[in-house]
Amino acid sequence: MPADPRAVVITGAGIISPMGRDWTENVAGFRAGKSAFSPVTLFDVSRQRVGTAGQADLPETAPDFGVSAKAWQRMDRGTRLALLAAREALENAGLSGGEMPMIIGTSAAAMPIGEAYYQKALLATTSRRHQLRRVETYQAQRQMTAMARELGITGFSRIISNACASGANAIGHAFHLVRSGKAERVLAGGYDALSQLVFAGFDTLQALSPSGIPRPFDAHRDGLALGEGAGFVVVESAASANARRAPIIAEVLGYGAATDTHHLTQPNPMGDTALATMQAACEMAGLLPEQIDYINSHGTGTPLNDIAEGNAIQRWAGDSVSKIQVSSTKSAIGHLLGGAGAVESVIALMTLEGQWLPASLNVREADPVCTFDLIREPRSAPVRRCLTNSFGFGGSNATLIFGKEGIL
């Protein structure tokens, strides 16, 4: 690590979510306080307790930026989401590929292809038709390498799978690579598509809201909704961005990561590790809690998560807690799992650019843990610095802090 770490900025961002296919559509949706849940049509949910989720509107045919029909056809749904968001990020950054590393977070990866392989293998037939292709294209690293080829990116790749923190970790890794001088710029992000196995998994855990309407931070919240999508950013040294006169969306000010060893699927109730990552990110950024204008919370809407995160925010902010504006955008698009941390980072960037804040929808009665300013309607507000939390199964916790350029 150089004695004087380099300033790191975001020069491009891309997003596809149930709210829309790009940055503009997502801004419009979140600013309007829209909700984006619909009946699941990708697989059979007739025997599940829950039948809705946030489905992205993914084009059927290959996009018109040079992806061949064959390459598109071999990509799983998640990779297609990732490709669209990554392409938007590169385009916004004024880049067309190059020798940059690619750090990507995912949790379910190409699970639907694995499911198809499994079902074919169970058939009482000796035919192996298409099974090699399914085995090959099921693998996340194969899919991401194919995506890199389509984007013209030739640097090394890392695929992080830290459950629901994966996307935030990917951006955090990229931040460190650039900050330390190991890379000039990195394409980083996260993605996940809906899959039957994962949907059923959350349903068996009774983690899904039976109504299909997640109510993060509501006193009577009863679970999360799943969603799908991808968020990507170009993380670049400020020096490089300035040298090529690239547009700068924000600065990356801090990142914290730690492991909650309390339980495989439940957070420490007092939010000890969440507190640790928020403190670490603030320390790196040289910021006090009262200097954070907005928190895009992990806010799943499950009883245990929201209490733990609320406690962590209270402990972190101390006397300033009532001034901290907090919302969960999972209330509008669902939990995007491995993509969540990256998509929510892009939403945080939108707030910095547009000076508005998205809402926690569907809250009828705020949980007593909400001593912070829970945003229940989208609002215009000065936003100079924002923090985003991501906490995953297995105890992977991550916090990122972004600021308007030149804020420090």
Least distance between another protein and beta carbon 27 (Å)? 31
Q: Which CB sits closer to another protein, 46 or 322?
A: 46
- Using CA atoms, how far residue 131 sits from 108, 118, 126, 147, in Å, is 20, 9, 11, 21
Q: Does residue 115 touch another protein according to CB under 8 A?
A: yes
Among 18, 114, 299, 339, binds another protein (CB under 8 A): 114
Residues numbered 257-286 forming contacts with another protein, rule: CB under 8 A: 257-261, 264-265, 273, 276
386 is catalytic: no
Q: Which CB sits closer to another protein, 96 or 180?
A: 180
Among 214, 227, 299, 392, binds another protein (CB under 8 A): 392
Least distance between another protein and beta carbon 40 (Å)? 13
The answer to whether 309 and 298 have CB atoms below 8 angstroms apart is: yes
Q: Which CB sits closer to another protein, 240 or 265?
A: 265
* Cα 231 from Cα 191, distance rounded (Å): 7
Catalytic residue among 164, 282, 370, 386: 164
The answer to whether 340 and 163 have CB atoms below 8 angstroms apart is: no
Residues numbered 30-49 forming contacts with another protein, rule: CB under 8 A: 47-49
* Cα 195 from Cα 185, distance rounded (Å): 32
Residues numbered 58-97 forming contacts with another protein, rule: CB under 8 A: none
The answer to whether 360 and 378 have CB atoms below 8 angstroms apart is: no
* Cα 101 from Cα 186, distance rounded (Å): 5
Q: Which two tokens stand for residue 387?
A: 């923090």
Least distance between another protein and beta carbon 203 (Å)? 7
Among 125, 127, 322, 368, binds another protein (CB under 8 A): 125
Among 6, 201, 240, 366, binds another protein (CB under 8 A): 201
Catalytic residue among 173, 176, 282, 335: 335
Least distance between another protein and beta carbon 368 (Å)? 28
Q: Which CB sits closer to another protein, 59 or 286?
A: 286
Q: Which CB sits closer to another protein, 316 or 356?
A: 316
- From the list 95, 387, 348, the residue with the least C-alpha distance to 241 is 95
- Alpha carbon dihedral 319, 321, 322, 328, in 10-degree steps, equals 180
* Cα 401 from Cα 386, distance rounded (Å): 6
Catalytic residue among 173, 298, 370, 386: 298
Q: Which two tokens stand for residue 173?
A: 């890794």
Residues touching another protein: how many (CB under 8 A)? 71
* Cα 211 from Cα 203, distance rounded (Å): 12
164 is catalytic: yes
Q: Does residue 153 touch another protein according to CB under 8 A?
A: yes
* Cα 138 from Cα 153, distance rounded (Å): 21
* Cα 331 from Cα 350, distance rounded (Å): 17
* Cα 311 from Cα 350, distance rounded (Å): 27
298 is catalytic: yes
Residues numbered 202-241 forming contacts with another protein, rule: CB under 8 A: 202-206
Q: What are phi and psi of 327, to 5 degrees?
A: -150, 165
Residues numbered 329-388 forming contacts with another protein, rule: CB under 8 A: none
Q: What type of residue sits at position 178?
A: V
| Residues with catalytic roles | 164, 298, 335
